[in-house]
């Protein structure tokens, strides 16, 4: 097996973990990872060396952006079920609070935070994956952390002033 294909194979668990955290849906995440792997294998000739894992995260991030744009064009209405009711008791409530806080983040901030905290990528690698300067990554991370901290402390997140 070539080094490229072996790099892809070793990155699959991390891709699945990141996709599941990003989409918050197992089936969507698995579809996203599968599409990422298909694109990577078809585009092997476009890979010019470097870290395969970062390249795969870039593909996955771009596919997820395309998916979100497509979903924004056609909103999905889903009925509320009993499992959607808030449950404030029990040891799992802290994890649910963090999950809710992550869900309220802007997509770019959540993706940057997940890549750094969950996947252990450096700020430079996240900047490469997201296609932005490293300062933008640092700003997104600071805003995401402040938002989560405020959410967990029960504060209302500050409104941004737009000129």
CATH architecture of 1-73: Orthogonal Bundle (1.10)
The residue extents of the domains of the chain are 1-73, 92-158
Please write down the long-range contacts of 68-74, taking CB distance under 8 Å and 24 or more positions apart: 68/107
- In the chain, where does DSSP find H-type helix? 3-23, 26-42, 52-73, 93-103, 107-113, 123-130, 134-152
3-state secondary structure 101-130: HHHCCCHHHHHHHHHHHHCCCCHHHHHHHH
Distance CA(146)–CA(90), nearest Å, equals 25
Mean pLDDT over the full length of the chain = 83
Take residue 155 and report the two structure tokens written for it.
């504060």
- Which whole number is the average pLDDT over 17-41? 92
This prediction's pTM: 0.66
CATH number corresponding to 92-158: 1.10.10.10
pLDDT of residue 17: 93
Higher-pLDDT residue of 16 and 46 is: 16
34-91 confidence digits (pLDDT tens) = 999 999 999 888 888 788 999 999 999 999 998 888 877 765 555 555 555 455 544 4
The yes-or-no answer to whether 1-73 and 92-158 have a common fold is no
């Amino acid at each position: 097996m070539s080094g490229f294909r072996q790099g892809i194979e070793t990155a699959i668990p991390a891709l699945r973990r990141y996709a599941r955290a990003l989409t918050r849906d197992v089936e969507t995440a698995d579809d996203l990872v599968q599409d990422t792997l298909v694109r990577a294998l078809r585009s092997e000739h476009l890979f010019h060396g470097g870290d395969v894992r970062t390249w795969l995260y870039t593909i996955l991030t771009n596919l997820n952006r395309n998916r979100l744009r497509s979903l924004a064009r056609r909103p999905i209405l889903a009925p509320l079920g009993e499992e959607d009711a808030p449950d404030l008791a029990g040891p799992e409530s802290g994890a649910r609070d963090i999950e809710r806080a992550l869900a309220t983040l802007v997509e770019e901030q959540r993706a940057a935070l997940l890549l750094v905290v969950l996947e252990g990528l450096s700020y430079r690698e996240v900047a490469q994956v997201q296609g932005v300067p490293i300062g933008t990554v640092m700003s997104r991370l600071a805003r995401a952390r402040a938002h989560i901290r405020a959410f967990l402390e029960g504060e209302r997140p500050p409104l941004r002033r737009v000129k």
